[in-house]
Amino acid sequence: MRQLRSKTQSVYDLAELTTDNGKLPVVPWETLPKDVQVLAEEAANGSLRSLKKLVNRMHDNYEIAVQPRILAMLYGHLHKPPPRRYQSKADLANIDFSRASLDGVVAAFLAVGGLHGSLNLEPFEQSWPALWKWTKYLYGRLYPNGLFKPHDPALLTESDRVLLSRLQILVPRLVGFNAPSDFTALGEPTDAFFIVADMWVRLSETGMRDGGIYAGIIMTLMEFFRRDVRKWPPLLVEKLDGGVSKLASLLLKNIRMVNDGKEQWQWMQGFELLLSITMGMNLSIAGLDHALLSQHFMVEVTRSFCFFTTKCLTRAVNGHAGDLTISNANTCLLFISACSKVTDGFTWVTQAIRYGLIPCLLRCGILPREARELGLNGKVSGGGRHSYDTIEDYAIDTIQMISPYIAFRSVLRQIERALKGPKISILESRLPQDSRLLKAWLIFKSLVEERLMVKAAFEKSGFAYRCEALQCDMVETTTSFQHCAGCQMASYCSKECQIRDWKFGGHREDCKKLQKDRADGLPSPISFIDTMFLNFAAKHDLEARRDAILKARNEVLAGKEIPEYVIFLNYCVQPISIMVDSSDVFASSTRRLVSRSFATGAVESDANSPLVSVIISVQHGAVPGYSLRRSDSHPDFLPWALDGIGEQPLQNSDNLEDQDGPVDNRAIGRLPKHLTEEDSLLYWMCDQLALSAGDEDLSQSRSETPSTG
């Protein structure tokens, strides 16, 4: 008779013992050891001691665990209903018998590694309602204070801890068996959901190290969310003491458990589901994304991505582990891209870059070759959505997602730091020369280098960022200043200055307000230094295309009585795009924004005087941020934009072709004819602006300060 050393081994060791139909061979009752037969008969006649001994033997021997006669006896004990209120001596005996019988049923599950197609299926189909009643009852006895209520783990006896682990194994099977009926067969579906959710919460808080149990619970929780992501997550938040902030803390603990789990391969099974759950809950729980951001969830996701792309694959002992590596790495990139599109996308992206995203993106182009060299499978188990080749596509998409954010100095600083690292040149040399990722990377790198030249000019212009702390005159001349971890806005030259500003400089209140605004779903402001850099970069980029802009302006104003036009500088695409046209071709909200009736100077501008409005658009999450500069209120911003107007007849740009050369339509041009008001990014942005403004006038501060739409 084959002895099994552990439950984990049983699932794999028994694979070679299955018959052609996938079932384990049944050992006849007569061939079982005599002492086992005696224990089973005594247990059937009411001996609790014999029942417990028999169950222990079931955990050690698969032939006993799947014996039909023993299974029938166990399920028979569970058909006696749980007591209701008063517990007599007979009720207590019934509880003890049911606990032991349930333990034996779980031993049978562990022996065959599943339910469907096994000897468990027929008795399970007949007895699962009784199993579910006992599961709810016994779980409630473990936590008498109620679900989601604090309970000291020290109060659980060793027997209670064994029972808890058995229930954690059984519940996913009970819920999964009823999933096709939307869990209605379990009675009130919320009962099942709350038990699963409570198990997940307690596993998260205690940091349990059993990756197999964790994977089962989180997969079951995901099944609820998958069926109705707008129903179940808010119910969970209502039950948690601490609401959304508590949920974010639990998700963060889960990510850390996966990162630090000793049973790495088992923990990895739940990672993709965990991030999928998080993305799904972001859709239905207001403020969760901001709570996750303030608790540095992206830092842990980036840590995970770095692990999956640098160390994990070479440690993969089999194809399944290699598949998990690639699948989880792809999921990290999907999560990072999804976060870039929320209100605080700018901050999410900055955190990811700061903690190692850039070099790991290049690793994605090397992984397919390493996988082939290791002889791992080419497709991820369970589906064709991920493969060792698709990770390169995800990496390219992520590079394209990052590109618009290089308009910000704070992002450029992080990328500059990454480019100076020794890994970049080595990784570039290891990428195949025909790699699509290498081509995308080199384009991105050239765009970054161009922006870094603008950044260098900005820093040489005399602007110096001072440490936020009071009575500190240190200015940022290197990359040594660090952001406040809480608000991600204030910068300090040292830890001492940060502490002093927190205690005496008023940053405590400012930081808490910024974090509260994020938790309430309000957009984060663009930092002062990023605002200054955007203004400098806009003037620099427009000046570099001065001749082409003036040429396009002359075409726009030809034949018009009122010399008024708009320059739209779009940093949301890379390379940057500049459009020149009259305001009347834009959406009504834009026409209102640049209208002379909203002149912001002390004296309203003359309706017949020349007017140029510059709209600067930057990516800042879900909706592009914008900044408006008008020549009547900001005459020093772009003084040359009005040069020549009114001094001589305006010439058509065709007459200037020989003089200035052709216009580069990629960099500047009229609004493309194929771009309609419905599908133009500019129109959409302005429509969002109009919705947020309502029927009220746009204030001066709103039109002058970059913010999100």
The average confidence (pLDDT) of the chain is 76
pLDDT reported for residue 100: 92
Query: How buried is 275 (Cβ within 10 angstroms: 0-12 exposed, 13-18 middle, 19+ buried)?
Result: buried
pLDDT at 521 over 60: no
Q: Are 331 and 275 in contact (CB under 8 A)?
A: yes
Please state the rounded mean pLDDT for residues 564-586.
85
Q: How far is CA 660 from the centre of its chain?
A: 49
Q: How far is CA 226 from each of CA 223, 273, 278, 281, rounded to the nearest angstrom? A: 5, 10, 12, 10
The rounded distance, in Å, linking the Cα atoms of 328 and 376 is: 16
Amino acid at the residue 67:
Q
Q: How far is CA 287 from each of CA 337, 512, 621, rounded to the nearest angstrom? A: 18, 15, 15
pLDDT at 483 over 90: no
Amino acid at the residue 587:
A
Q: Are 387 and 379 in contact (CB under 8 A)?
A: yes
Predicted confidence (pLDDT) per residue in 262-318, tens digit: 456 666 777 888 888 888 788 778 888 888 887 889 999 999 898 888 866 555 545
pLDDT reported for residue 675: 29
pLDDT category at 154 given cuts 50, 70, 90 is confident
Pairing of strands 564-570, 577-581: antiparallel
**H helices present in 340-402, as ranges:** 345-354, 357-363, 367-374, 390-402
pLDDT category at 520 given cuts 50, 70, 90 is low
Please state the rounded mean pLDDT for residues 675-684.
30
The rounded distance, in Å, linking the Cα atoms of 97 and 130 is: 14
Highest mean pLDDT among 322-326, 624-628, 688-692, 696-700: 624-628
Three-class secondary structure assignment of 223-270: HHHHHCCCCHHHHHHHHCCCHHHHHHHHHHHHHHHHHHCCCHHHHHHH
- The CA R_g of the chain, rounded to the nearest whole Å, is 33
Please state the rounded mean pLDDT for residues 48-52.
93
Average the pLDDT over each of 46-60, 252-266, 361-375 and give the range with the smallest value. Answer: 252-266
Average the pLDDT over each of 85-94, 414-423, 625-634, 679-688 and give the range with the smallest value. Answer: 679-688
Tokens of 438: 């290498």
The rounded distance, in Å, linking the Cα atoms of 201 and 454 is: 49
Cross-strand partners of 613: 566, 630
pLDDT reported for residue 677: 31
Please state the rounded mean pLDDT for residues 505-518.
82
The rounded distance, in Å, linking the Cα atoms of 428 and 423 is: 9
Cross-strand partners of 611: 564
- Span between the terminal Cα atoms of the chain, in Å: 71
Q: Are 432 and 369 in contact (CB under 8 A)?
A: yes
DSSP letter for 383, please: -
> How many angstroms separate the most distant Cα atoms in the chain?
113
Amino acid at the residue 490:
A
The rounded distance, in Å, linking the Cα atoms of 669 and 679 is: 18
Q: Are 363 and 309 in contact (CB under 8 A)?
A: yes
Query: How buried is 707 (Cβ within 10 angstroms: 0-12 exposed, 13-18 middle, 19+ buried)?
Result: middle
Highest mean pLDDT among 319-328, 345-354, 457-466: 345-354
pLDDT reported for residue 50: 94
pLDDT reported for residue 375: 66
Question: Given CA atoms 593, 691, 688, 618 in this order, what sign does their dihedral have?
Answer: positive
Helices and strands (H, E) in the chain, number of each type:
31, 8
pLDDT category at 627 given cuts 50, 70, 90 is confident
Tokens of 312: 């994990």
Q: Are 662 and 654 in contact (CB under 8 A)?
A: no
The rounded distance, in Å, linking the Cα atoms of 166 and 168 is: 5
- 671-699: string of b/e by CB count within 10 Å (b at 16+)? beeeeeeeebebbbbbbbbbeebeeeebe
pLDDT reported for residue 312: 62
pLDDT reported for residue 540: 93
Instruction: Return the higher-pLDDT residue of 158 and 694.
Output: 158
pLDDT reported for residue 539: 92
pLDDT reported for residue 174: 84
Predicted confidence (pLDDT) per residue in 181-219, tens digit: 555 666 667 888 999 999 999 988 876 666 778 888 888
Phi, psi of 344 (to 5 degrees): -100, 35
CA atoms within 13 A on the CB side of 83: 15
Instruction: Return the higher-pLDDT residue of 84 and 440.
Output: 440
Model pTM above 0.85: no
Question: Given CA atoms 649, 650, 654, 655 in this order, what sign does their dihedral have?
Answer: positive
> What kind and span of H or E run contains 567?
strand 564-570
The rounded distance, in Å, linking the Cα atoms of 389 and 93 is: 59
pLDDT reported for residue 405: 92
The rounded distance, in Å, linking the Cα atoms of 133 and 323 is: 38
Task: Give the residue from 624, 617, 457, 615 showing the smallest Cα distance to 537.
Answer: 457
Q: How far is CA 616 from each of CA 178, 537, 682, rounded to the nearest angstrom? A: 55, 10, 11
pLDDT reported for residue 594: 65
The angle formed by the CA atoms of residues 233, 234 and 237, to the nearest 5 degrees, is: 90
pLDDT reported for residue 456: 92
pLDDT category at 587 given cuts 50, 70, 90 is low
pLDDT reported for residue 381: 42
Residues 6+ apart with CB under 8 A from 268: 211, 258, 312, 321, 324, 325, 328
Instruction: Return the higher-pLDDT residue of 573 and 466.
Output: 573
Highest mean pLDDT among 12-21, 448-457, 582-591: 448-457
Three-class secondary structure assignment of 605-656: CCCCCCEEEEEEEECCCCCCEEEEEECCCCCCCCHHHHCCCCCCCCCCHHHH
User: DSSP 3-state assignment of 595?
Assistant: coil
pLDDT category at 361 given cuts 50, 70, 90 is very high
Instruction: Return the higher-pLDDT residue of 338 and 443.
Output: 443
